[in-house]
Structure 1
Amino acid sequence: ILNAGKGWFDAGDYGKYVVNAGISVWTLMNLYERNPSQLRELPIPESGNNIPDILNEVRWELDFMMGMQVPEGHDQAGMVHHKLHEHTWSPLPYTPAERVTDRFAYTPSTAATLNLAAAAAQMSRLIAPFDAAYAETCLIAAERAWKAAKENPEFKYGNIPGDGGGNYDDFYLEDEYYWAACELFVTTGKAEYEKSLIKSLDDDKIIGASKAPNGPMYWGGVATLGHLSMTLNAKKVDKATRQKISSLILSGAERYRKQITDEGYLVPMFEYEWGSTSSVLNKLILMAYAYDATGNRAYLDGLTMSMDYLLGRNALCKSFITGYGENPMFYPHHRYWVDEEDAGYPPPPPGVISGGPNEGASDEATAFMVVKNARSKRYADDVRSYSTNEVTINWNSPLVWVSAYLDEVYNPDSGVKRVGKSPVSAIRIAVAAIALVILSGLAAVFFRRKNKNK
């Protein structure tokens, strides 16, 4: 029934999750929608087909997401299966066999369904100038998903018995409804979606999302994705709605700017939570929007200092990005990138970011640190450390966004058109060089797909 063979493996294992795919593809598409001159040419199989390569790559993942949608004629038609993985955790290291008999699609969820509605609607409008047929396919899938989410009983994921993959549990879904309504409204202009998004903007959690202390967005908190998509298409809504969304973004960016001054290592950190590096990167996206809107150099300086933190100016003198910095990460928690080439396992390519310090570190390599180490030092560059050194698509995607943004702002030779109110007056060559080399590495990581990725 399902054709879910495409798509990216999610993290250090071989699972695929629609709710983590959603924010990952949104981040890359948002980068393109904000500035269509970004990442148009990449070393991927489809390059040269007259479609911007960043959209080509997102299409690979979106095809997986659409492949998880229940076909017409079946129970729960239009709903989307939450995830796809094995029933037990695969060993480490491990190369997946070229078969699917030991991998299973799990029960459809409302969250996954709304993730597809949002992401497919977003892709529909972006790819329409290049591939009208695929744009129509995406829009049909998006509207089917919205309709199914509205008509079927809500199914919220909690703890699913067994292992082999993460739960990605989520009990608050108003943000998914809001995000999906935003993307569908921008793409279609239909009053149904506009009415829904405006209603959601009265919800306290939607209002507070963009200044949450640990970051404005993550896979289970997607309201800010809607805010930012609406910002790029502000003329489609009334003045009051535009102003409300703008104020939410700017107030969040200001909170994160102030967090930098409160943290000893000059980074917008509140708690060193699981995936703390991605929390930083997602805050930087909001600060980039604030810099574009206001020209306030403090926001841009915050981006620069925070990238310094990720590259090694931190309590560990450790770069959390493979291949960059004086002391880069080498041994991510990953079943394939384990650097045992005699056994057929390569080292990680440059440009992979790990989760970073986790004050609740809980694996065999780091659990002892909770009582011995300062929270900023609870990290191990160790393949066993899934709680501090795993890698995931939703952490690498904001690294792409922020690196591309810094390259755009600082590097006059990037070939990328500058978007925003105030270009910088003095070019910092060191920052431009860092952004450029990270983007080069990311081309080998995020956009490294091979035809055998099944």
Structure 2
Amino acid sequence: MVDQFGYLPGMKKVAVLRLPKVGFDSNQSYWPQQLQVVDAATGAVVYTAWPQDWNGLKTDESSGDQVWHFDFSQVTAPGTYEIVDPTANQRSARFEIGDNVYRNVLIQAVRMFYYQRAGQEKTVANAGVGWADGASHLKGGQDPQARRFLDPNNAGTARDLRGGWFDAGDPNKYTSWAAAYIQDLLDAYIQNPSVWTDDFNLPESYNGIPDLLDEVKWGTDWLARMQNSDGSVLSIVGLADGSPPSASTGPSYYGDASTTATLAAAAAYAEAAKVFGGLNNTAMKTYAADLLARAKRAWAWAQANPNVLFYNNDATRGTGGLGAGQQETDDAGRAELRLFAAIKLFAATGDATYRSYVDTHYTEAPMFSQWYVSAFNAGNARNLLYYASLPGATADVATAIRTRFLDLWGRSDYGGWGAIDAQTDPYRAYISSYTWGSNGVKANAGTLFTEEGYYGISRHTADQVATAAADYLHYLHGVNPLGKAYLTNMTSFGAENSVNQIFHMWFADGSAKWDDARTSTYGPAPGYLVGGPNYNQWDWDSRCPGISSACGSSRPTPPYGQPPQKSYLDFNAGWPLNSWPISEPSNGYQTAYIRLLARFVK
């Protein structure tokens, strides 16, 4: 198993070989011999070595495999290669070595947000012939005339809420989650400014503004429309499905303002104001000033209204059918959002009021109150580290944050450096459990290592940090038990085994055009990161097999009954097989992946 897109010349390069012992593939038999790295263009053997067994060939519980590692880091010359076992007549996927092997992958990953845009025409020139579509959700009663869900017959509640992004495989737009995506993309820009060029083939390309920031602005434009005149921010817009999205005809409805949505939006407004205000562009500076004013109004409203809640899609509260996922959070979640908003407002303004709030409340964050740093809540650590890096941050607070992070992420019994040093995962990308969205968790784990490198605070060398982070990237690109590059339809961009099907309203099961990259006319658009293996949160409908012939006679295996890392199936079935806990993409997984990938793009 190799990274199917390739490796930078100076990277540590470790291929994984496997003998499955547990799981659907346990009938396979393979025992590696001396291996060769072969130049695919010339057939020349450029490196030969024996693989090394992992953990004495103990069967790994997370994958069900016995594993060997083949380190070919000595191969640094640019080119196209494959790893060959001449004795067994086995070969790896082909891969590139070069300085720019990930650039086109990054472009496709960012373009995913273009395909997710609501209300945006997708032209052939920008989207490609396979995914061209008219602007969606702009018909009568849709986004430009969205009505309040709790008063749907009152035309006086109509609001223009067009724009924004479909959140995942569903088309709904959730304020607090979209605000988080905006901040993640802005962080990716801040930490890697030279990566973001103006040529990603978006409608805004070549306008003198990095295309990543053009995409962010698509999000902040919508977020601004969601704000009320009193500073509060609406919580959600529920949209109707459509394949393609322009085929959607159902009405759009919005949920009431909430403290959660308002705090999340305040943070996004503030960070966008800081970044946009730093551009050498008069119009963007004006736009930034408006966003900063919105951030301050949102903060003021949330301070005066600390517990205004809105639960969507909850029949007990009269909101059943509005959206899908539940965007409302608990008291701890709101406290976290308030802390993040204060951090971003302090960064944008330097106002001591916001710094004082952070200094008073940072110890309530899980990193302090629960001695907890985890890829499952990476945003908490990242935001605190960001505050610690700011000019004017209180020095002893900044020191406490950096020290606590390094102490926790470096513990031998934790899933950070402890798992790296112990080589806990034979696929070199440890997470503690494979739940819903495990690929997003993998990406977030990688970013926690890159944070150390970016801020220059690590207790490890730069090469150790880069290797630890890159191994999570390699996992997502094919160094996993399934040899799957977990991005959609990437054959044209170098992957031999990418994702063919995802649970998404556009690329729906049974669609002649978009269902499957192998058999449909086009398959799903490229570059979507799929949710990934899900060990204990997937099952078919509890009434199967009797409820529908679509159940079949037994649960599909895989994903059922497999070791955690093999609890995945490339499928997109709706009810009753319910593929979405495994195969649905999410903008949140995508931003985590973009943050990680960007650290390795030149």
TM-score normalised by length of structure 2:
0.61
What aligned pairs does 1:46-445 form with structure 2 within 5 A after superposition? 46-70=204-228, 72=229, 77-86=230-239, 90=241, 93=243, 95-97=245-247, 102-128=251-277, 129=279, 130=281, 131-158=284-311, 160-161=314-315, 162-163=320-321, 164-171=323-330, 172=332, 173-207=334-368, 211-217=372-378, 222-233=379-390, 235-254=391-410, 255=414, 256-260=416-420, 261-292=423-454, 293=456, 294=458, 295-322=461-488, 323=490, 325-338=495-508, 340-341=512-513, 346-364=522-540, 372-384=561-573, 385-407=579-601, 414=602
Could you say if the C-alpha distance between residues 265 and 156 of structure 1 is closer, same or farther in structure 2, counting changes exceeding 3 Å? farther
Whichever residue aligns with residue 260 of structure 2, its letter is A
- Structure having the higher Rg: 2
Query: How big is each residue's C-alpha offset from its partner over 1:88-114, in whole Å with a ceiling of 9 and x where there is no partner?
Result: x747x5634466x61111122211111
CA shift, 1:358, in A, is 0.9
Structure 1 CA distance, aligned partners of 2:502 and 2:253? 26
Question: Are 1:337 and 1:346, in contact at CA under 8 Å, matched by a contact in 2?
Answer: no
Q: Give the superposition deviation at 1:58.
A: 0.1
Query: Using the alignment, how far apart are the partners of 1:223 and 1:30 within structure 2?
Result: 14
Native 8 Å contact 1:14 1:96 kept in 2: no
**Deviation of residue 277 (structure 1)?**
0.7
Letter in 1 for 2:593: L
Deviations 1:275-317 (A, max 9, x none): 0111111121120121231344222111222222112221222
Paired residues of 1:320 and 1:328 also in contact (CA < 8 A): yes
Change over 3 Å in CA distance of 1:346–1:337 after alignment to 2: farther
CA distance in 2, matches of 1:277, 1:326: 19
Alignment RMSD (CA, Å): 2.6
1:39 counterpart = 2:183: no
Q: Give 1:277's aligned amino acid.
A: N
1:28 aligns with 2:185: yes
Instruction: Provide the C-alpha distance between the structure 2 equivalents of 1:309 and 1:58, rounded to a whole number of angstroms.
Output: 27
Residue by residue, what CA displacement relative to the aligned partner does 1:327-383 show, whole Å, maximum 9, x if unpaired? 211101111134622999842233211010112232538787686211222111111
Distance 1:46 1:90, change over 3 A: closer
Q: 2 CA distance for matches of 1:58 and 1:22?
A: 10
Tell me which residue corresponds to 1:438. Answer: none
- What is the DSSP-based 3-state SS (H/G/I as helix, E as strand, rest coil) of the residue aligned with 1:236? coil
Larger helix fraction of residues: 1
The size of the alignment, in residue pairs, is: 394
Letter in 2 for 1:387: P
Cα deviations by residue, 1:213-242 (Å, 9 ceiling, x for unpaired): 44333xxxx433422432442x22122122
Deviation at 1:208, TM superposition (A): 5.8
Look up the equivalent residue of 1:168 and give its one-letter code: Q
Note if contact 2:559-2:568 (Cα within 8 Å) is conserved in structure 1. Answer: no
Give the direction of change, closer, same or farther, for the CA distance of 1:243–1:78 in structure 2 (3 Å limit). Answer: same
From the superposition, tell whether residues 46 and 214 of structure 1 become closer, same or farther in structure 2 (CA, over 3 Å). closer
What letter is aligned with 1:333? F
Question: Which digits, 9 at most, give the CA deviation of each residue in 1:380-401, with x for residues without a partner?
Answer: 1111210011011111112112
Query: Percent identity at matched positions?
Result: 25
Q: What letter matches 1:376 in structure 2? A: Q
Match of 1:15 in 2: 172
Question: How far 1:243 moved relative to its partner?
Answer: 1.1
Moved more, 77-86 or 171-180: 77-86
Shift of 1:153: 4.5
- SS of residue in 2 equivalent to 1:320: strand
Contact 1:291 1:297 (8 Å CA) reproduced: no
1:297 partner SS: helix
User: For the residues of structure 1 that align with 2:377 and 2:499, how far apart are their CA atoms?
Assistant: 26
The residue identity in structure 1 corresponding to 2:429 is: V
Q: Secondary structure at the match of 1:113?
A: helix
Q: CA deviation at 1:210?
A: 8.9
Worse-matched range after superposition: 3-12 or 46-55: 46-55
SS in structure 1 at match of 2:237: strand
Check conservation: 1:116, 1:142, Cα contact below 8 A: yes
Q: TM-score, normalised by structure 1?
A: 0.80
**Higher strand proportion (structure 1 or 2):** 2
